[in-house]
Amino acid sequence: MKAKLFALSIFALFLLSVASALTLTPSSVDTLTRSDNSTSFTVSSDSLMNIATVFPYTLIIKDSNNRPVTLTITSASGLSGVSTATFNVILNSVDSDFDFGKYSSNLKIDAVSSTNSLVTASANIPIYFEQDFCRYGNVGGDLRLSIDFTDVKGYGSDTDWYLFDEVSGDIEVKNRGDDNIDNIIVRWGLYDKDTGEFIIDEEENDFDLDNGDSETINIKFTLDPEDFPADFNEKDFEFFVKVYSDDLGENVQCNSLKETGVKIVRDSDFVILKDIKLSTAPQCGESITVRATAWNIGENSEDDVYAIISSPKLGINSQEIKIGDLDSLEDKKISFSFDIP
């Protein structure tokens, strides 16, 4: 009988602990920038709770070089006997050399059940800060930017690009202010969100603009596969442009834009030949050696790759050139010879 009572007691305690469990559900938190320097979020629970974390709370976000961004988080509602608590996040300071990109740190919020102090819960909430391409954010307002990708030579089109494509574009800069602006610099590049690094990073020579005038800069770049990580994803990339006055200072006049629709396309299986060269100019009755580089710019690794060379006019009937295995973004040199009739 005592054993049964003991088992029933344990079962009752188990039911009590399940019934009084506390679960915290945070809302999403908007990314902070120099321009959008405050936001708010909520934390909800499935029963009444008391927030145990002490507010105001100072949160530090650091870049890859340990330069800090300081945030202050305050409570905007009651913290005891509530099922939902609201918090404000305010950007306090940013290191002047803080790296471009998006960085985060976790805010831990602890809570205790209002009805049972033995029941606790925690939530780790990621808070993000994104450093704008303009170091001090978009300031001044006199310089304005636009970009138009005008031509893609290779396999892609518009903003869907393949490796080895040559992309051309026009960057237009306008001075919409009342004063002339000197020493204007345009910086542009292709940014990898996954690695936090620029694949392409270029800067144009400075120029001057009178008030109301505009300048169009023609840019051209090639997507070299050697610059890309082998495991990149199609949507890892953004194209950034900024314009600022080196004369006035980036903290006085700077404007930036971000083209988020850029995609570096990766077909599952895609092997190409590049840098095809002949040993000599073709002459009748001579042997010609052809050298080339086989590239796997597809997503999958490929086994037993070969090329077929044929030319009915030269009497070459489907000559098979073995290349071998190629991992993604791997290349191999090949060569073969044939006789000119």
Instruction: Give the model confidence (pLDDT) of 280-323 as tens digits.
Output: 777 788 888 889 999 999 999 999 999 988 888 777 777 888 99
Other Cβ atoms less than 10 A from the Cβ of 246: the count is: 12
The stretches in the chain having pLDDT less than 50 are: 5-19
Do the domains spanning 20-131 and 143-264 agree at the CATH topology level? yes
C-beta of residue 151 within 8 angstroms of C-beta of residue 172: no
How is residue 154 annotated by DSSP? S
pLDDT confidence of residue 192 = 93
pLDDT confidence of residue 317 = 76
Domain extent listing, the chain: 20-131, 143-264, 271-339
Q: Where does residue 264 rank: exposed (0-12), middle (13-18), buried (19+ CB within 10 A)?
A: buried
CA distances from 114 to 23, 46, 49, 55 (A): 13, 12, 5, 19
For domain 20-131, give its CATH number from 3.40.50.10310, 2.60.120.260, 3.30.160.150, 2.60.40.1940: 2.60.40.1940
Q: Which CATH superfamily is domain 143-264 in?
A: Immunoglobulins (2.60.40.10)
pLDDT confidence of residue 288 = 84
Tell whether pTM > 0.85. Answer: no
C-beta of residue 302 within 8 angstroms of C-beta of residue 321: no
- Integer Rg of the chain from CA: 30
pLDDT confidence of residue 20 = 57
